[in-house]
Chain A
Amino acid sequence: MEPLSAFEIIRQVLVQFTSVWISLIVLFAFSLGFKRKLGLYGFVVETGTGFTGVLILGFWLFTAIFASRISPFDPLGQIVSMKDALPGTIEPISGLPYLFGGDKLARDVFSRMVFGSRIVLIIAPLATLLALSVGIMLGLPAGYFGKRIDSVLSFLANLILAFPIILLFYLLVSPGILETPIPYALAGVFFLFPILLLVTLFWSGYRSHPLQLGIRLVLTLLVGGWLFATFVFDRDPFHILRVSPSTLNIFAAVALASGPGIFRIVRGLTLDIKTREYVQAAQTRGETPWYIMLWEILPNARGPLIVDACLRIGYTTILIGALGYFGLGMPPESPDWGTAIKESSRLLRAFVHPALPPALAMMSFVLGLNLLADALREQSLKD
């Protein structure tokens, strides 16, 4: 069968993404229609950078959601005749084209790119959230109390920051380490932080309302406990989620790598905000330190933290890509972008097409995050 021409490829790709286009139209109709009621987000979408950022992120988000609908082939399936097939080659059995060609293991590059978005979109934000809760839980007391707590925590943070990340990854995500309890211990500690954060938050804020406090604590502990069991021990009592030890290890390593950075930002913001008079006012009415940190200081640090979280998800994406590129943590057949780039970059002289789609996907996703962060920063400064 004749391979598709360049024009036909483009047309077919656009068609494949139909569900994404529809979702994007709905998203923007909603965003622009209600922009005055959406607060900061409304202002962000209005700007050029913000619009582009949301567009790109929306594209990848919906791609991840509808991945199985968009991709014509199984991302792991090998169809021998399609080895190193050029873009547009028709797969003879199904009659469908390999839109972006096939890689050296005869898999569909297009489908792999589409499914790769799932891995990034799940791990990067979750790992950042994890690092964020660690950074907040440690950065707040370091900035607020200062003195010895600050010295010790800052020293620890600098210790980790002094570790070149690549070395950290080689040490922590190597296959050998999975035979030891270290990754589980590390992840166990990290996954404790979000639960700890929520418990402290509710405990300090609702102490005078026992009922509300009770409901929140029970909910936190139930959901937190379930997630903890699922992630750290891979023992989901309801058998809904599965997290392999190597994925867990990636979580732990990425959180460890970005935790200190967030810690420093939270600490700096706390140092600044704690001099405000409303913090003094809280002190003079006898509020507990944790109430002041979590309910008086943290809400006013949210602007810079959101911007930083945005940038950091992008950075985490790059880190995960690097892990894939070095073949660390991810299974070798994984369709994630980093692994795909590694696989294809060795054969660039012969075949270009398997390398470009994951590379451009990776770049555009990070670009979307950076654009959004930029727009957020600019708009929040205007207030």
Chain B
Amino acid sequence: MVEPILEIKNLCISFFTRAIEIPAVMDFSCTIMPGEAMGLVGESGCGKSTVALAILRDLARIGRITSGSIRFNGRDMATLDEAELTRIRGSEIAMVYQEPMASLNPTMKIGQQLTEVLFIHEKVSKAEAYARALEMVKAVRLPDPERMMRSYPHQLSGGQQQRIVIAMALLANPKLLILDEPTTALDVTVEAGIVELVKDLGKRFGTSMLFISHNLGLILETCDRVTVMYSGEAVETGPIDEVFGAVRHPYTQGLFRSMPLLGTNRNSSPLVPIPGQLPLPHERPNGCNFGPRCSYFVDGQCNKAVIDMLPAGSATHLSRCLRIEAIDWDAVAKSAVANVPTVIGDNLLEVHSLKKHYQVAASELFGGREARTVKAVEDVSFNAREAETVAIVGESGCGKSTLAKVLLGLELATGGTASFDTTYIQADPIDKRTTKLISSVQMIFQNPFDTLNPSYSVGSQIIRTLERFDIGSTTEERQNMMLELLDLVKLPRAFATRMPRQLSGGQKQRIGVARAFAGRPRMIIADEPMSALDVSVQAAITELLTNLQRNSRTTMLLISHDLSLVRYLSDRVIVMYLGHIVEQGTTDQIFQPPYHPYTEALLAAIPLADTKAKKRKVVLEGEIPSAMSPPPGCPFQTRCHLKSNVSGGLCETVVPPMRVLAEGHAIKCHLPTEVLDAMTPVIS
């Protein structure tokens, strides 16, 4: 019989503050066999990273394993002394972290940092270490490996840095690789590349993996088995197909239901958010931790005693639920009733060949170097109608946020026009705009932890907005309006006097929404409104936004990189790359062939949490060019995998014109019609 590489049994970890003991992980068990990839899923605060650090015995000083055992390769990790521990770290267990930039030493060259691993664990000569490091840099498919070895971390892009971290982890050929949210900080197409790489290398070196992520899709793509964690406990574990195919825990089910699946939209199948909030670590309920949020909860049964992992269907599929047998797992969620689609109104926003260039000067006082131009937005034309949701999709640096700033009046356009309700606004800075216009165009921000001023109470921030927009005439009137806004975003009125730090991320985002809707806006720009939130919270905010928008007939510009969300929420989609719109059309047109090659790559990069869906592989090579020196011709030509289909080097020399393929569907591409017509769907 094969021995497991890692065997964790009934692990309990607590953090000890001066006053109390806070249990972070409780009764956690899992085994990883040689060559196997185990996924660990859960929302923030569920204890998944704590488990990872406990395996390497690198918990913070206040953290301690209170019971249970971790056996690595047959040895109990708790019995190892400091010397044995340092020997195992890096050589037998290696780790890859969330932020690649922060995990590399900024003052050491890549080559030094790589070879160091070999010098620590093996007696190798300098030449041999260099050769092996170089070999590994090649293995993680980095261009120009010799130059990479001589570079400092900051000279590499985020994706390249993460590849270096992976190379460093694999260099000593470890038996177990722990990946803690390795792609969270990266763009989708870069993420897809990293996931491919990890999968391949895992197979090639036979490394076992523990893959930690909040993203169910990523886990499905990379892992053989999965463990779902909730509030410090594993709630469901089993082979990936069984867990994803036949969910046997209400929390896992809730996660799936609160995620927009490709092919659904807000009208036909609304999301079902998980009600309530994650309990605080020292306020966990009796019995089932998920009990208070569970729709199958039975008083007296679920909250009576500690619940163990129970078999669910097969011997390897376990679930921490007493009512596995009693629940009808195939029933459709209760509130998932279809909505009537909104009627789209007249044109509200018309943008015509809008440009925004920045001058980056070297120094103001002594302009030594010549100023350089950043072409953040280059020739953008689109329109948005009343009550319509238009999504703007693209990776970081594509110009979508700059576009939003121009529309809001925070930046002035360099060229082109933008008219809002027949008024030209592209040259009006915000201090020249009328109060009416300002309140008509509002914004919902990305980071809920940053969107409220920490110095003022929630209520006063909303009242200030009302004051600015000349809404209400007396203080009492505004006070009442503020309370009504809280009702609108489904928060208790008592929140008016709370300070932002007392609110959770989702609650803060609700206040952000309330503030944006305070001036009865006609257009809302939502900049990645969900990206910083947990899946179950995302669903609730998504539903809130949808309903508010439906009732107020507000136009929404949704800026996002999450194509599942875009498909779910929007009526039309605009795909941007390096300041250009490369494709636009209705949501159906965008998600069906023919695609722009970039759209195709974006679609292929979505991690799908659906066992039935099949995805065609399109992995983008290379990096997004700098907006300071965009390539000549087609902006996408440096990374396009279909470029060979265009003759005469057209792509390198001529910016493609916008081609109308169908009513409302246009792409900026030189590809001949027959190539476009021959495209097959990315997802089937």
Interface residues of A (CB under 8 A from B): 147-148, 150-152, 155, 208, 276-278, 280-288, 296, 299-300, 383
Interface digits, B403-414 against A, CB 8 Å rule (1 contact, 0 not)? Answer: 000001110000
Chain A residues contacting B441 (CB-CB under 8 Å) are 284
Q: Is the CB of B435 within 8 A of A286?
A: yes
Q: Which residues of A contact B212 (CB under 8 A)?
A: none
B453 in contact with A286 (CB, 8 Å): no
The stretch that binds A, out of B181-189, B324-332, B465-473, B618-626, is B465-473
Give B449's nearest chain A residue, CB to CB: A277
- Of the four ranges (under 10, 10 to 19, 20 to 34, 35 or more), the interface on chain B belongs to 20 to 34
B454 touches A284 (CB 8 A): no
Q: Is the CB of A155 within 8 A of B365?
A: yes
CB-defined contacts of B439 to chain A, threshold 8 Å: 285
From residue A157, how far is it (CB to closest CB) to chain B in Å? 13
How far is A383 from B453 in the complex, measured between Cα atoms in Å? Answer: 15
Q: Please state if B468 and A278 are interface contacts (CB–CB under 8 Å).
A: no
B450: CB under 8 A from chain A? Answer: yes
- Please name all residues of chain B whose beta carbon is closer than 8 Å to the beta carbon of A287 when the two chains form the complex: 468
A299 to chain B, nearest CB (A): 4
In the docked arrangement, what's the CA distance between A286 and B518, Å?
14
Contacts of A276 in B (CB 8 A): 450
**B446 interface hit (Cβ, 8 Å):** yes
Find residues 245-269 in chain B having any chain A CB closer than 8 Å to their own CB: none
- Given known contacts A148-B364, A151-B365, A283-B410, A300 and B430 CB-to-CB distance under 8 angstroms: no
Please state if A281 and B451 are interface contacts (CB–CB under 8 Å): yes
Chain A nearest CB: distance from B437 CB in Å?
9
Pairwise interchain contact B430-A284, C-beta atoms closer than 8 A: yes
A300–B452 alpha-carbon span in the complex (Å): 12
Closest 3 CB pairs of A and B: A299-B455, A277-B445, A151-B364
Bound Cα distance from A152 to B366, whole angstroms: 11
The distance in angstroms between the C-alpha atoms of A118 and B204, with both chains bound, is 78
Chain B residue contacts of A283, Cβ below 8 A: 408, 410, 430
A147 contacts B468, CB within 8 Å? Answer: no
Is B655 in contact with chain A by the CB < 8 A criterion? no
Q: What is the minimal beta-carbon distance from B502 to any residue of chain A, in angstroms? A: 12
The reply on B498 being an interface residue by CB < 8 A is no
- The CA of A152 and the CA of B364, in the complex, are separated in Å by 9
Given contacts A283-B410, A284-B410, A286-B431, contact A277 B446 (CB under 8 A): yes
| Minimum C-beta distance from A26 to chain B (A) | 29
Q: Hey, which chain B residues are within 8 Å of A299, CB to CB?
A: 453, 455-456
Most B C-beta atoms less than 10 A away, residue of A276, A296, A300: A276
Please tell me which one of the listed residues A147, A155, A208, A284 contacts residue B443 in the complex, with CB atoms under 8 A apart. A284
If A150-B364, A277-B445 touch, whether A208 touches B467 (CB-CB below 8 Å) is yes
Say yes or no: B453 contacts A285, CB within 8 Å.
no
**B450 in contact with A277 (CB, 8 Å):** yes
With A150-B364, A286-B431 as given contacts, are A300 and B454 in contact (CB-CB < 8 Å)? yes
The reply to whether the CB of B199 lies closer than 8 angstroms to some CB of chain A is no
For A281, the chain B residues whose CB sits under 8 A away are 443, 445, 451, 512, 515
Identify which of A152, A278, A300 gathers the most chain B CB atoms within 10 Å of its CB.
A278
Task: Let me know if B638 is at the binding interface, CB within 8 A.
Answer: no
Most chain A CB within a 10 A radius of its CB, from B365, B410, B512: B365
Closest chain A residue, CB of each to CB of B410:
A283
- Determine which of B365, B410, B501, B515 lies in contact with A280 in the assembled complex, contact meaning CB atoms within 8 Å: B410
> If A151-B365, A286-B430 touch, does A277 touch B451 (CB 8 Å cutoff)?
yes
Cα distance, A282 to B501, chains bound together (Å): 19
Residues on B with beta carbons closer than 8 Å to the beta carbon of A285:
438-439, 442, 465, 468-469, 519
Assembly CA distance A76 to B439 (angstroms): 68
Q: What are 20 of the A-B contact pairs (CB < 8 Å)?
A: A147-B364, A151-B365, A277-B450, A277-B451, A278-B450, A278-B451, A278-B452, A280-B410, A280-B445, A283-B430, A284-B408, A284-B410, A284-B443, A286-B430, A286-B431, A286-B435, A288-B431, A299-B453, A300-B453, A300-B455
Shortest Cβ distance from residue B109 to the other chain A in the assembled complex, whole angstroms: 30
CB within 8 Å of A: which of B492-551? 501, 512, 515, 519
Report the separation of the CA atoms of residues A152 and B501 in the bound assembly, to the nearest whole angstrom. 38
Residue B479 at the A interface, CB < 8 A? no
A257 to B18 Cα, complex, angstroms: 43
For the complex, what is the distance from the CA of A112 to the CA of B438, rounded to whole Å? 64
Q: With an 8 A cutoff between CB atoms, is B303 at the interface?
A: no
Min CB distance A85 to B, Å, is 53
Measured CB to CB, the nearest residue on chain A to B408 is A284
**A296–B453 CB distance below 8 A:** yes
Task: Say how far B639's CB is from chain A's closest CB, in angstroms.
Answer: 30
Roughly how many angstroms separate A261 CA and B512 CA in the complex, as a whole number?
A: 36
Q: How far is the CB of B371 from chain A (nearest CB, A)?
A: 13
Report the Cα distance A276→B452, complex, angstroms.
9
Give A296 to B363 CA distance when docked, in angstroms.
28
- Judge if B433 is at the interface, Cβ distance under 8 Å: yes
- Report yes or no: A286 in contact with B365, Cβ–Cβ below 8 A: no
Write out the residue numbers on chain B whose beta carbons fall within 8 Å of the beta carbon of A280: 410, 443, 445
Q: Does B447 contact A (CB under 8 A)?
A: yes
CA distance A172 to B430 in the complex (A): 45
A282 to B447, CA, bound (A): 15
Q: Closest chain A residue to B433 by CB distance?
A: A286
